[in-house]
Amino acid sequence: MSFRDIQTQDDVEVYQKRLTDNYPDRPEIMSHICHQIEQLQIEDPTVVELCIGPGQLAETLCNIIPRINYIGLDFIQPFLDFTAAKLLIDGKFVCANLTGAEWPNLLKNASQTGRIDAIVSMQSLHDVGDADQIASIYAQCQKLLGKEGLFINADLITQEGDEANARPGRLTVPHHLELLQAAGYASTGCSLRTAQFGVCFGRNR
């Protein structure tokens, strides 16, 4: 089942099981993302997740970072409802598409603290569009983040030399880093790489 076919809560559960079964690296990646946010040493960080899907990362974030101010964005309402029902905190949820123009302002308005300390995404942005679309998202996130802000994209990657044969949004790690640098982040890097995933980050300091 594709995420585009999701209509009911039962569909979300089927989709969640497929992710768990097909991508065994996901728990390691989620723990790693949480560790990176903890290193910001902010007691009550405001964390935005782009394209939350069935909420597995959201649940992990809220369990590991108990004073998190969580904001989740997705354009599929059943994903938002499913995630909101299982979180132990009162998160904020935004229904918007990253291909539109309104999502940055919606996220700004959703922040209860008046700041956004981290923006994260996991296994999602490769489905939003091509490299130009990903570059645009990186640039918008750089502007949303504070001066100490952290952006993390943990996504499925293409191996170097294979990008020409991959789906348009499935990029190599060096290509992701090139786009992050062009977006204006002060420091960039790849903090974890597995057989399937690359965890690329940009920081505003």
For 69, list phi and psi in degrees, rounded to 5.
-100, 100
Cα separation of 32 and 114, whole Å? 26
Average pLDDT of the chain is 93
Query: What 3-state class would DSSP assign to 82?
Result: helix
- pLDDT beyond 70 at 1: no
pTM for the full predicted model: 0.95
Domains in the chain with CATH codes: 3-203 (3.40.50.150)
- Token match 């969580």: residue? 70
Q: In the prediction, which pLDDT does 99 show?
A: 95
Q: In the prediction, which pLDDT does 45 show?
A: 97
For 155, list phi and psi in degrees, rounded to 5.
-135, 165
Half-sphere exposure for 153 (CA within 13 Å, toward CB): 29
Angle at the Cα of 196 from the Cα atoms of 166 and 20, rounded to 5 degrees = 115
Token pair for residue 205? 């300091």
Region 153-173 average pLDDT: 85
Q: Per-residue confidence at 123, pLDDT binned at 50, 70, 90? A: very high
